[in-house]
């Protein structure tokens, strides 16, 4: 555990993993933030979110690569459906910055794939949509009342704009991780896996439009 904006934390993660297990088979870059905690300015939040969502993943891949080359292991980056064209204007400038970081992570995975494959290392992204998570709860609002109100609104919204009609459950992400991490998936690399309950295919019904 540690602050991912600190390079020493990245070193610690890799060093302690090797010390305990002797190798690295899979690197999962799952940490992510929507904004900087507290009363931060937009530019302070920008720097913080990019440091955690992009720079930390970039450096952990760099540090893990020599070890993954030995095991012919693989990397799974957790991105988001926010990396694609937006379906709704929601989240303000903080949402824009978050989407920028996830777009960067998608492009990183697809552009570094070829060089990593020369070392026998696969890299893929999993891009979740609306899932029940602490991340979602924290992103809803800083205060308890604000968070509760926004969470209720989000649930109603997701029911409307997701063909599945609900939030995904964390355990519904597990099969994708297991598949991508499995050595039998040796032909799957440089890919973006969207798990969003069909949210990316949603469009408003013609009868819902006020013309």
Task: Map out the domains of the chain as residue ranges.
Answer: 7-129+170-196, 131-167
For 76-91, what is each residue's pLDDT tens digit? 999 999 998 776 666 6
Highest mean pLDDT: which range of 33-37, 116-120, 157-161: 116-120
What is the SS3 assignment for 195?
Answer: strand
Q: Which CATH class is domain 7-129+170-196?
A: alpha beta
Which residues are paired to 122 by β-bridges?
74
For 49-62, what is each residue's pLDDT tens digit? 999 999 999 999 99
Q: Which residues does the annotation mark as catalytic?
A: 98
Q: Is the pTM of this model over 0.75?
A: yes
Integer Cα distance of 85 and 107 in angstroms: 14
């Amino acid at each position: 555990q540690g602050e991912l904006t600190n390079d020493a934390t990245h070193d610690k993660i890799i060093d302690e993993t090797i010390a305990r297990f002797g190798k690295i088979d899979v690197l999962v870059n799952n940490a992510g933030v929507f904004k900087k905690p507290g009363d931060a300015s937009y530019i302070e939040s920008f720097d913080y979110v990019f440091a955690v969502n992009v720079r930390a993943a970039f450096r952990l891949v760099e540090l893990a690569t020599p070890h993954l080359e030995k095991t012919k292991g693989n990397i799974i980056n957790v991105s988001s459906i926010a990396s694609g064209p937006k379906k709704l204007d929601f989240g303000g400038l903080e949402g824009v910055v978050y989407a920028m970081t996830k777009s960067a992570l998608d492009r990183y995975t697809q552009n570094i794939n070829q060089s990593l494959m020369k070392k026998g290392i696969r890299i893929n992204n999993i891009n979740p949509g609306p899932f029940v998570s602490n991340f979602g709860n924290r992103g809803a609002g800083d205060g308890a009342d604000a968070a509760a109100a926004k969470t209720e609104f989000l649930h109603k919204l997701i029911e409307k704009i997701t063909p599945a009609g609900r939030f995904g459950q964390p355990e519904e992400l597990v099969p994708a991780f297991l598949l991508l991490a499995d050595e039998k998936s040796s032909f799957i690399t440089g890919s973006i896996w969207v798990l969003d309950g069909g949210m990316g295919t949603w469009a408003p019904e013609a009868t819902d439009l006020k013309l």
